[in-house]
Structure 1
Amino acid sequence: MSYFFTKRFLGICFAIIGATFWGLGGTVSDELFRHHGINMNWYVTARLTISGILLLSLYKLMYRRHSLFAIFKNKSTLLALMLFSILGMLLVQYSYMASINYGNAAVATLLQYIAPVYVIIWYVIRKKEVLQLFDIIAIVLTLTGTFLLLTNGSISQIVVAPPSLIWGIISGLSLAFYTIYAPRLLNSFSPILVVGWAMMLSGILMNFQTPIWHFNYESLNFATINYLLFGIIAGTTIAFFFFINSLQYLSAKETTLYGTIEPVVAVVASVLWLKIQFLPFQLVGMLLILILIVILSLKKQPDS
């Protein structure tokens, strides 16, 4: 019994640490874009490329006898990995950072975490799930909370920049795809291997658009270097590593529940550290979305 408790406690710690680093990573990205002149496209390239290399290196250290390239041996698996990398990993990372760049980390994270509602709608459309009262409540909370967050209760004005809103919605949709499509690969391969290659392949594609070596190194200072290291290593690599490893000790449902700490951390850090101010009805909208995130994390999704 004590052994089980130890394993479970370790899993909870892993999930909380991973989600916390994700939330702080988004806020650090906000700081880099706002006050340190970091180009968003370059930052996405650096996050994906460096984190991909680090996660694949960690996989090889943990599983020395396993091939890094096993996932490439089957054509159907390779195609699945490419789709997951582009429409899942690359799009969710890019759209999330773009939403932060045009708005702020708190709003971007909350918009992204509406993804489970899109998953519910997808399952209903595919007739894998019947629309229930729970789902209707979730959708109403989503619409109400998002409306208040974006307008502060006034139909005549939007208090969030439209590009941030659009990219935030795309981020949520791509996260929904990521969630639905991932089991095709995760059922056969280690999560670290799948995520590592998805990041690596996405990073390679981003290097064609904004090469990682295209950077004004003369503009670097001590604070910028520290923020970059945290955002890329702690906010991406370590966050994914801890969160993925929590699945060894917790169910996916429990891990998802503890993952809801991410938007809370992003909102609190944005308010306390970046001094971002929200209007009264925006705060109500945030609260509704946070309640939504918690109740959705308790809902078991059907098999995809």
Structure 2
Amino acid sequence: MENAQRKMWAGIAFTLLGGTLWGISGTSVQFLTTEGGAPPTLVTLMRVVLGGSLFFAFLLIRKRATVHAVFTSRRTIAGILLFAFSLYANQLCYAQTVQITNAGTATVLQMLGSVFVMLFVCTTTHKLPRVKEFIGLVIAIIATVLIATQGNIYVLSIDVAGLTWGIATGLSTAFYILVPKRFGLFEQFGSVVVVGLGMFLGTIFAIPIYAVQSAGAMNAVSVLSGFGAFEWLVFIVGLVIVGTIGGYGFYLHGVSIVGSVKGSLLGAIEPVSATIMAALWLGTAFTMHDIVGMLLMCIMVAFITTDE
């Protein structure tokens, strides 16, 4: 019993750490798409290619046999490809939302993934959520509405396009949390192999989508040639290593321990991290409604992680 409790707390810690690192990722995306002038599709393509390649190289060195085992079954191949697409879609939708709004708002909208996860789990298991999870969900929804409307429920305070991309981010978040569970990927191959392969295989979707989009966007070479040393540092360290490999790796490993519903709710730490980083680094201004929304997210995290 003590070992199980220790494992659960370790899972909570990994999930919260991953969510915190995601916040750094969001601020990095905001910097690269605004100050760096890079379109979201290019930032996402670079993120997937470099992050996925580094992760895949590690897997070939340390987990080659497990990687091979993933591709011995049609079911697991389908699962890993669906997971890869959901990871890529999440990064692209998130980058689009950040460019239109800001890192803090985008990460709060991403919390809608908790709603979709809980609805899916309750529907498929024919069970109501636990009281704490339901209350946590209500708090998360209140925080999201507060930030999106700035306290006036009759007026949407953010761009419709930003809200649309934010909802898409929430949906893709729910997908990449639920897919590994539905296909038993974590149980069979471990979170490290699944996340690494998911990132690497995301290039299958990232390259053609950028090729289509770039016909009317700035050329990648001209954008990247305009990057200075600091922009490259933000991209490689802040976005790829810390925000992508660290963020997704720690978060999904934690989710594999604590479960999809609690894990999706614990991801609420991300908007807090993103908001603090955006305010301190980029000088992004936030209203009192934004701050209250972030505090509600923190309260929700503390609430659902306390003992029953």
Where on the TM-score scale, by shorter chain, does this alignment land: which range? Answer: 0.7 to 0.9
Query: What does residue range 62-77 of structure 1 map to in structure 2 within 5 Å?
Result: 62-63=62-63, 66=65, 68-77=67-76
Contact kept, 8 Å, 2:63 with 2:193, in 1: the verdict is no
Partner of 2:114: 116
Distance 1:111 1:60 in 2: 36
Gaps of 5+ in 1: none
Partner of 2:50: 50
The offset of 1:215, in angstroms, is 2.7
Are residues 120 and 156 of structure 1, via their aligned partners in 2, closer, same or farther at CA, if it must alter by over 3 Å? closer
Contact kept, 8 Å, 1:112 with 1:169, in 2: the verdict is yes
- How many residues get paired? 295
How does the TM-score come out when normalised to structure 1? 0.82
Partner of 1:154: 152
The offset of 1:257, in angstroms, is 7.9
Are residues 172 and 294 of structure 1, via their aligned partners in 2, closer, same or farther at CA, if it must alter by over 3 Å? farther
The offset of 1:165, in angstroms, is 1.4
Distance 2:79 2:133 in 1: 29
The offset of 1:134, in angstroms, is 4.0
Partner of 1:82: 81
Query: What does residue range 264-275 of structure 1 map to in structure 2 within 5 Å?
Result: 264-275=272-283
Indicate whether 1:224 and 2:231 are aligned.
Answer: yes
Percent identity, aligned pairs only?
A: 26
RMSD over aligned Cα, in angstroms? Answer: 3.5
Distance 1:274 1:31 in 2: 7
Cα offsets for 1:228-254 (capped at 9, x unmatched): 112122221233344556689x75599
Query: What does residue range 21-40 of structure 1 map to in structure 2 within 5 Å?
Result: 21-40=21-40
Q: Which moved more, 1:98-107 or 1:137-146?
A: 137-146
The offset of 1:103, in angstroms, is 0.7
Cα offsets for 1:268-293 (capped at 9, x unmatched): 11122222112222322332233334
Distance 1:173 1:12 in 2: 22
Partner of 2:247: 239
How does the TM-score come out when normalised to structure 2? 0.81
Counterpart AA for 2:177:
T
Gaps of 5+ in 2: none
The offset of 1:68, in angstroms, is 2.8
Partner of 2:180: 182
Pairing partner for 1:166 from 164, 167, 187: 164
Cα offsets for 1:26-78 (capped at 9, x unmatched): 111111111110121011111112111111211222235x2533211111111
Pairing partner for 2:100 from 99, 102, 105: 102
